[in-house]
Chains A and B, each alone.
Chain A
Amino acid sequence: MIELINSISVSLLVLIILGLALVGYFTVRKHAISAAGGDARVLHSLPGYYGYNAAMCIAVPSLLILVLWLLIQPMLVQNAVIGLIPDQMITEGSSVGLVMSDVRRVAEGLNTAVAQGALTRTEAVDLRVDQTDVRALLADVGVALGSDVQAPVLQAAQKYRALTATGAATMVVVVLAIAVLGFALAFRMTHPAFRARNTVEAGVKALLMIAASLAILTTVGIVLSMIFESRNFFQLHDWKDFFFGTSWAPNFRGNSDLAILPLLWGTLYISVIALMVAVPIGLFAAIYLSEYAGPKVRAVAKPLLEILAGIPTIVYGLFALLTVGPFLVNLFGRGENGVLGVEWMSGATSVLTAGLVMGIMLIPFVSSLSDDIINAVPQSLRDGSFGLGATHSETVRQVVLPAALPGIVGAILLAASRAIGETMIVVLGAGAIARISGNPFEAMTTITTRIVSQLTGDTDFASPETLVAFALGLTLFVLTLGLNVVALIIVRKYREQYE
């Protein structure tokens, strides 16, 4: 029996529940009709609703329990297993997280060994370090371990396996029991006077509401995950140094300088250059499109400009690294061999490269948003200005733009928040050197690039060098959120003004 239960995987369990729900639908539907003596008009609701009620009673609570179980069980198992690991194992250069990942790896290895038949079930449970070379054994079944397995780790792994297996078996039993119970309940509820439609509709409404609150859950997830890991970071690293230090030099042997100022400087510098490209072009394009262009030009030019916004950022990144960067080097670098004969730029990656390309990406942002806002300015304002004898450009400059200004500022702020959070262009185009300098031809680095570089490859969630990425992410989140909120408030205020 235990064997059978253990062999049921999560996906199979979900399929069983869905199958049960289907069976429940048809059985209860039939039952409802027969309870009404074959005359569906006697029933309060259409027969299908009794069926839906059964399907919902079966599937919804059991699947919810399943999801919760899958989320909570790993945490409980981990807490139970951690007690088995003696404190002296968690020394310098190691951490609970690292030891736990060892434990998990050994446990998975044992599972694989059992699955492949290299070990029997009882052998896996009774395995001892002093009797068997566990590392070699696991290597035979294709699970490579970094070091020899120590006795407490093996013990913890066995406990981990045992708990996980019991947990999984209990889960299958509990979830199936709830499903069957739901079936029985729905069956008993079904009689002609039962208001099945109202029940089903209330249930569906609850499900819709859960779906809508998922957005809140995502935000909470983002904020909590970053706050937790940032707190861990600030326990390992001085917060004053992070916010007010001036040097960024991560060193995976420890003792790193992790200060955000140089990164923030690079981020803002690149964003300013990007805005200096995007705002004039985007704004003038928007003015022309909304004030001067005929419907034909508008129908062609607007979608074409918006293509720029639909191109994936990786494409812009490659464009920066392989086309714009070398072009700028040709122009501003190479001394005598260059076009201008100057030696200002040495490498293809620089603030200017990333800023220019990001500016191109932002053009449609500024232009579409400003276009909408300029179109929202009431025609009566323009007519009034024309009536006084102003030319078209005077009207735009002295009437339309001042009226649209708050909205345009909002649009620019949104574009700025885009620029600050942009990743691929700066990863490929801006370089990796953290410094505070005013020279746009130098490579600089940004918050997003450092998040990528600190979190790719082997990450160790106990070292400040990895955890700093979460503090950086939190700063980025707060920064962009602030800009967005301000921009949205401005735009909304402005809209109300003319409605």
Chain B
Amino acid sequence: MTDMPTPQPIPRKGSLLVQDARTVKRNRAEARFKMYGIIAISMGLLMLLILLTTIIGRGTSAFQQTFVSLNVPLLAEKLDKKGNRDIEDIKKVSTFGYAPLLQAGFEQKVADLGIATDLKPKDMANLLSKDAAATLRDFVLANPDQIGETVVFEFLAQSRVDGYLKGRVTRDSIENDKNISAAQLDLVDALVADGTLAKKFNISFITGADASDARPEAAGIGVAMMGSLAMMLVVLALALPIGVAASIYLEEFAPKNWITDVIEVNIANLAAVPSIVFGILGLAVFINYMHLPNSAPLVGGLVLTLMTLPTIIISTRASLKAVPPSIRDAALGVGASKMQSVFHHVLPLAAPGILTGTIIGLAQALGETAPLLLIGMVGFIASNPPETIAEGLLSPNSAMPAQIYEWAKRADPAFYERAWGGIIILLVFLITMNAIAVLLRRRFERRW
């Protein structure tokens, strides 16, 4: 080492306190690099913000609907010609028979308010939803003793009127619209000024059933919610026990051999299989081979079970692994069998973690749409909420995300508002579930 020449110090020009050009450049590069990171994160957060504001901005209006309050005379000569109040006779009057009553009620209202209009009573009544006659008929069938009286009703307005009040429909946009005319909008303006026609909170959007293409104002997400609930019950009843059992085996009992390896690789891969492939499996096995009913929440639940199983297994194994070996050793030391040490000691300690993972898996399943399309949970209108649990599982129904997809596909923009509204409800469910999971973790998680 002695023959090495001593390095000559490079003479430095200028003061140490002044950065030379190269240092300035390097420091700039440093600042730029840091800036890229900040920009990237801000972009991500900005996207989140845009997404959420879009959802809230476009969806909240779905919870409000325009209603018209009318006094409708329930004329006995129209509804009960024989006059003996026989419910069977009253049932024979179809919704068409109720239309004149609505027209009369509307005409009366307009006359009472002293609004001058050239519209015929039929065109006035067109401002009401096509649902109005059915609402009226249901009321009469439920209260036949009210026939002959004049009753105050709150009817849904048709979707164009609703859109006009919400700013979706304008006088320019209706030029080629057969469903509404400028004269009708004049009447709407007059009725709004009077308060007869007003926006109100619409509970039936949350509780009601889907409606046909012509009646967006009557569509609700309630029945689809029941479908989702039924599916979640199936997923919970199957995925939780099977997932926990599988994880216990793999984590506590499985010998280290190739079979275990195959199972482990399999689960890791299943977690990454596209969800639509599970839909294909459901269609081919549950519907085509086992002939389970099409569009039934039971089938949807089975498919989602297979899909969530890997998620639940992975999180359950993580929480089993987190229980320290000393617990197992202590149990074995006082004479418990391996099975007893797992079921009496490890499993209870891992329970909060398992529950958290299960809730997160359920939330994931709740928002899944693609497999449901393949097993037929779209494209029809489930009009009545199921009455029994068996019916809820087996009769055709939709699910919340499938219902949102269905609305997004329809031509009338009035359904888009409902799709955004449906997303708000779906997200409320997801946020609640995730919040419960976080709370559970905070409350019960033990650090060893």
Please report A residues at the B interface, Cβ cutoff 8 Å: 11, 70-71, 74, 104, 197, 201, 204-205, 207-209, 211-216, 218-219, 221-222, 225-226, 228-229, 280-285, 287-289, 291-292, 301, 304-305, 307-308, 310-315, 317-319, 321-323, 360, 363-364, 367, 391-394, 396-397, 414, 417-418, 420-424, 427-428, 448, 451-452, 455-457, 459, 461, 469-470, 473, 476-477, 480-481, 484-485, 488
B274 touches A305 (CB 8 A): no
Task: Contact check, B253 vs A208: say whether CB atoms are below 8 A apart.
Answer: yes
The smallest beta-carbon distance between B46 and chain A, in angstroms, is 10
Q: Are A285 and B276 in touch, CB under 8 angstroms?
A: no
- Per CB-CB distance, the 3 closest pairs between chain A and chain B, nearest first, are A421-B274, A288-B37, A312-B367
Q: How far is the CA of A280 from the CA of B272 in the complex (A)?
A: 23
Binding site secondary structure of chain A: helix
**A212-B245, A421-B274 known; A456+B378 contact, CB < 8 A:** yes
B54 touches A323 (CB 8 A): yes
Contacts of B288 in A (CB 8 A): 461
Q: Which one of B22-30, B110-118, B135-143 is at the interface? A: B22-30
Indicate if the CB atoms of A211 and B48 lie closer than 8 Å.
Answer: no
> Which residues of chain A come closer than 8 Å to B33, judged between CB atoms?
392-393, 396-397
Taking a contact as CB atoms under 8 Å apart, the answer to whether B277 and A473 are in contact is: yes
B41 touches A308 (CB 8 A): no
CB-based contact A313/B367 at 8 Å? yes
- B270 and A391 within 8 A (CB): no
Find A456's partner among B36, B262, B284, B379 (CB 8 Å cutoff). Answer: B379
Given contacts A322-B58, A451-B374, 20 further A-B contacts (CB under 8 A): A70-B290, A71-B290, A104-B291, A205-B249, A209-B249, A211-B243, A214-B246, A222-B277, A225-B289, A284-B37, A288-B36, A288-B37, A288-B40, A291-B37, A314-B369, A423-B370, A428-B405, A448-B276, A469-B280, A484-B269
Query: Closest CB-CB distance, A130 to chain B, in whole Å?
Result: 30
Q: Flag if A481 contacts B39 (CB, 8 Å).
A: no
CB distance from A43 to the nearest CB of B (A): 15
Known: A219-B266, A391-B30. A280 touches B40 (CB 8 A): yes
Residues of A within 8 A of B253 (CB): 205, 208-209
Number of interface residues of B (CB under 8 A): 88
Cβ–Cβ contact B337 & A201, under 8 A? yes
A211-B245, A308-B48 are known contacts. Are A393 and B276 too (CB-CB below 8 A)? no
Say whether B327 faces chain A, with CB atoms less than 8 Å apart.
Answer: no
Q: Which of the residues A74, A363, A422, A423 comes within 8 Å of B290, measured between beta carbons?
A: A74
Q: If the complex has contacts A313-B369, A391-B29, A473-B276, are A215 and B285 also in contact, measured as CB distance less than 8 A?
A: no
Interface string of B221-252 (1 = CB under 8 A from A): 00000000000000000000111011011100
CB distance from A10 to the nearest CB of B (A): 11
**B267 within 8 A of partner (CB):** yes
Residues of A within 8 A of B44 (CB): 281-282, 285, 305, 308, 363-364, 367
Give bound CA distance, A315 to B425, whole Å: 12
User: B254, B277, B376: which contacts A476 (Cβ < 8 A)?
Assistant: B277
Task: Digitize B82-123: 1 where CB-to-A-CB distance is under 8 Å, 0 elsewhere.
Answer: 000000000000000000000000000000000000000000
Question: How many angstroms from the CA of A221 to the CA of B302 in the assembled complex?
Answer: 13
* Cα distance, A183 to B255, chains bound together (Å): 32
Q: Does the CB pair B280–A473 fall under 8 Å?
A: yes
Q: Which residues of chain B are near A215, meaning CB under 8 Å?
A: 246, 263, 266-267, 270, 309-310, 313
Q: Is the CB of B37 within 8 A of A212?
A: no
User: Do B51 and A218 touch (CB < 8 A)?
Assistant: no
Which A residues are in CB contact (< 8 Å) with B45?
301, 304-305
Contacts of A221 in B (CB 8 A): 281, 285
**Chain B, Cβ-Cβ closest to A322:** B416
> Please, how many angstroms separate the alpha-carbon atoms of A216 and B364 in the complex?
22
Q: Give chain B residues whose Cβ lies under 8 Å from the Cβ of A313.
A: 367-370
Q: How near does chain B come to A455, taking the closest CB pair, in angstroms?
A: 5
Contact with A along B420-445 (1 / 0, CB 8 A): 10010011001000100000000000
In angstroms, Cα B248 to Cα A99, docked, is: 47
B318 CB–A CB distance under 8 Å: no
Residues of B close to A392: CB separation below 8 A: 30, 33-34
A213's contact among B27, B263, B274, B379, by CB below 8 Å, is which? B263
CB contacts (< 8 Å) of B250 on chain A: these are 212
- Tell me, in angstroms, the Cα distance from A197 to B313 when the chains sit together: 27
Docked-complex contact A214 and B309, CB < 8 angstroms = yes
A288 x B263 contact (CB < 8 A) = no
- Tell me how far the C-beta of A276 lies from the nearest C-beta in chain B, rounded to whole angstroms: 13
Subset of 30 A-B contacts with CB under 8 Å:
A201-B339, A204-B339, A205-B249, A212-B263, A214-B242, A215-B313, A218-B306, A226-B277, A280-B40, A285-B37, A285-B41, A287-B37, A308-B48, A308-B51, A310-B430, A311-B367, A313-B369, A314-B423, A315-B51, A318-B423, A393-B30, A393-B34, A424-B405, A427-B373, A448-B276, A455-B374, A473-B276, A473-B277, A476-B274, A476-B276
User: With an 8 A cutoff between CB atoms, is B47 at the interface?
Assistant: yes
Verify A222–B273 contact, CB threshold 8 A. yes
> Are B363 and A310 interface neighbours, CB within 8 A?
yes
Identity of the chain B residue whose Cβ is nearest the Cβ of A481 in the assembled complex? B269
Docked Cα-Cα span, A201 to B405, in Å, equals: 48
Pick from B51, B248, B376: contact of A208, CB below 8 A: B248
A319 touches B40 (CB 8 A): no
Q: Which residues of A contact B405 (CB under 8 A)?
A: 314, 317, 424, 427-428
Report which of A208, A360, A417, A459 forms a contact with B245, defined as CB distance below 8 A. A208
Q: Is the CB of B254 within 8 A of A360?
A: no
Q: Give complex CA distance A469, B48 in Å.
A: 34
The residues of A that contact B262 with a CB separation of less than 8 Å are 216
In the complex, residue of chain B having the shortest beta-carbon distance to the beta carbon of A417:
B272
A218 touches B404 (CB 8 A): no
Which A residues lie within 8 Å of B275 (CB)? Answer: 421, 423
CB-contacts of B28-76 with A (<8 A): 29-30, 32-34, 36-41, 43-45, 47-48, 51, 54-55, 58
- A488 and B271 CA atoms in complex are apart in Å by 12
User: B361 on the interface (CB 8 Å rule)?
Assistant: no
User: Is the beta-carbon distance between A452 and B48 smaller than 8 angstroms?
Assistant: no
Point out the residues of chain A lying under 8 angstroms from B263, CB to CB.
212-213, 215-216
